[in-house]
């Protein structure tokens, strides 16, 4: 699995608040580890780790774990909706869709 740069505003809902307008850490920079599952028919990606200065936040204290969970959700949302990170990883890893949508023979391929 490869690590990718990711930046996100960590908001107050990191602690379960319903108000995401309060930004606790603006432009929080981290590295995220992403698992890629290429079934041919589908290209699935999801976050498996959040790192700051090489340290896995899920192994830290309560605040680190809460931030890791928050960032993981943001990353997974981006990856599942074809966001910027999805496109970056797709391009970096050389994946492309071969065929037309709806074509049963269409599939993801890697250069």
pLDDT at 82: 85
pLDDT at 13: 85
**Residue 51 pLDDT > 90:** yes
Q: Which of 10, 2, 29, 16 is nearest to 67 (CA)?
A: 10
Reported as a single tens digit per residue, the pLDDT across 59-92 is 999 999 999 999 999 999 999 888 999 999 999 9
User: Three-state SS for 18?
Assistant: coil
- The rounded distance, in Å, linking the Cα atoms of 66 and 69 is 5
Predicted TM-score of the model (pTM): 0.87
Reported as a single tens digit per residue, the pLDDT across 17-29 is 777 788 999 999 9
């Amino acid at each position: 699995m490869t690590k990718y740069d990711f930046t996100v505003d960590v908001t107050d809902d990191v602690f379960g608040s319903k108000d995401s307008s309060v930004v606790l850490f603006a432009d929080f920079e981290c590295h995220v580890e992403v698992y890629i599952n290429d079934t041919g028919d589908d290209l699935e990606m999801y976050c498996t780790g959040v790192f700051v200065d090489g340290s896995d936040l899920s192994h830290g204290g309560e605040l680190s774990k809460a931030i890791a969970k928050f960032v993981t959700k943001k990353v997974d949302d981006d990856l599942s909706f074809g966001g910027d990170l999805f496109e970056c990883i797709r391009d970096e890893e050389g994946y492309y869709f071969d065929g037309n949508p709806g074509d049963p023979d269409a599939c993801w391929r890697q250069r």
